[in-house]
Amino acid sequence: MPTIVVEVMPKAELLDPQGKATKGALSRLGKSEFTDVRLGKRFELTVEGPITDQVRADVAEIAEHVLSNSVIEDVVAIHYPEGEK
């Protein structure tokens, strides 16, 4: 069954406490070449049956309204499986 991937990131101008914590951990490990870390979310949506226009419309809608909080996050990418473009 095909899997669609949705990627969500915190908006660039807002504080990302988890990314900041990760950056802190890297610095403590001596990996100081990394000046910033931002941490987002990846959703894998598995679909039964073919990816129709309706499915695409649904994915776009839930990505915007359910999987992300548009006030503080952006949907940065929606990946469809190879050949399903």
Binding site for other proteins (CB under 8 A): 10-17, 20-21, 24, 69, 71-72
Please, what is the minimum distance in Å from the beta carbon of residue 60 to other proteins?
20
- Nearest to other proteins of 30, 50 (CB atom): 30
Which amino acid makes up residue 71? V
- Nearest to other proteins of 72, 76 (CB atom): 72
| Contact yes or no for 19/39 (Cβ under 8 A) | yes
Please, what is the minimum distance in Å from the beta carbon of residue 72 to other proteins?
6
CA torsion 19-21-22-26 (nearest 10°) is 140
The three-class DSSP label of residue 50 is coil
Please, what is the minimum distance in Å from the beta carbon of residue 41 to other proteins?
15
Work out the number of other CB atoms within 10 angstroms of the CB of residue 72: 12
- Nearest to other proteins of 24, 81 (CB atom): 24
